[in-house]
Structure formats: C-alpha cells, structure tokens
Chain A
C-alpha cells in the first residue's frame, strides 16, 4: 500500500483543489490524501517535513525503514531509495 500525503502547499495547508492538481499533474494511481480542514498541517506537525518515506509493517504500524530524501531536488528521491527495501519485503510476503 502506498500513501501519498500532500502535507503543505508553500507551507500552508493544501486544499482539495491542490490535491487534485498534484495527482493529475503526475497521474498518480496511489492513495493520495491531505489533512482534514479541521486539523490543518497535522501531518507536518506530527511526522515532520517533506520528502520523507516511512515503510511500515501494517500489522504493528512500526517503522521498518525511514528515508529522508533531498529537499533541494538532488540525488534520488526518498521513494526511489525506499523501493528496493519495499520490494524485498513484498518478495518475502
């Protein structure tokens, strides 16, 4: 399961319109979410800033792998770095 969290737009809480633009801009076929209007920026405040990946064991919700990608656009993204680990997990499932 992949969960894409659009946590901010220019450091402000994103709207549904922002999420739609984000998804459609990259044709994302994965679960994609934002914080509810009643809890703006809750993800940012709880998990931290962008370009992070958490690979979870969904039975225990424990973090199996953490990756901080580049926030200046250099090097591999956090997702790219996490893929080999996740694929290895799935191959053993």
Chain B
C-alpha cells in the first residue's frame, strides 16, 4: 500500500493542477482560465450545488427549466468491471475531498455515492480499491 499511497499523493497534486480543464467547481472557479463556456453549476466538497450569488436571473424561467438536471440519471446497466462496461453505482460514507488541499480527515464525514461524485462535474475519475490488513 505504501507505493499506492505515494502514487495517490502524486496523483492528487497532479489532478488538482488539471482542474481547469474540467467543469468549474468551487476550487476552480476563481482560477479557471480555460475560457470554457460550460454552465454546469459549481458544487462544494459534499457534491452540493452552490448557489450563484452573482446571478442576474430576472426571476422568469422557461417552463420546466427549474427542474432541469444537467447530469441526468446515472447511466443504466448492465454494469460490469471490464473496460468499456459501465461501473455500477454504489453508496458510500466518508470524506469528499475534491480540492486535495488537506488530509481528508479534516473534511466533513458523511454519506456520498458514486452518483453524487459524478455530479461534481469532473471529467475523469480514478477509483482505487484497497484493504486495511
């Protein structure tokens, strides 16, 4: 596990530097210079959408627009664990740490899921399965 942990640390730092290529999140909004026109709402470390205080919304929205889900439902099965297959959604509990700016136990402990993490808007994910001997 030691090598895996070291690799995760390296990867966390590298992935953080590449956030500007992904959909804006709380930690990347201020520094995103990619010129992206993606309008996906930002989310916090828990995967909760952050209200846009700078909105100039006139208060009038098209019918149904308020209920629109930019991410849609989790992709349907069949699910599998081979390349090209869709990974099954699972519920978890733990620490969501999208910024990689601190040891994860300093973050809020709570429920999350693969679906909730999908909704953070990140382009790619690496799921590592480990066991505590």
**Interface positions of A (Cβ within 8 A of B):** 1-11, 14, 16, 18-24, 26-37, 39, 42-44, 46-66, 69, 76-80, 82-83, 86-87, 89-91, 93
Contact = CB atoms under 8 A, between A and B. Distances in A.
Question: What 4 A-B pairs are tightest by C-beta distance, nearest first?
Answer: A33-B94, A93-B21, A26-B5, A33-B92
Most A C-beta atoms less than 10 A away, residue of B105, B120, B122? B105
B83 A65 contact: yes
Interface of B: 1-5, 7-12, 14-15, 18, 21-22, 74-75, 80-98, 100-105, 109, 111-112, 114, 117-118, 120-133
Nearest to A50: B131
Contacts of B3: 76-77, 79-80
The secondary structure that dominates the B interface is: mixed
Given A34-B93, A61-B87, A24 B105 contact: yes
Given A31-B96, A62-B84, A5 B124 contact: no
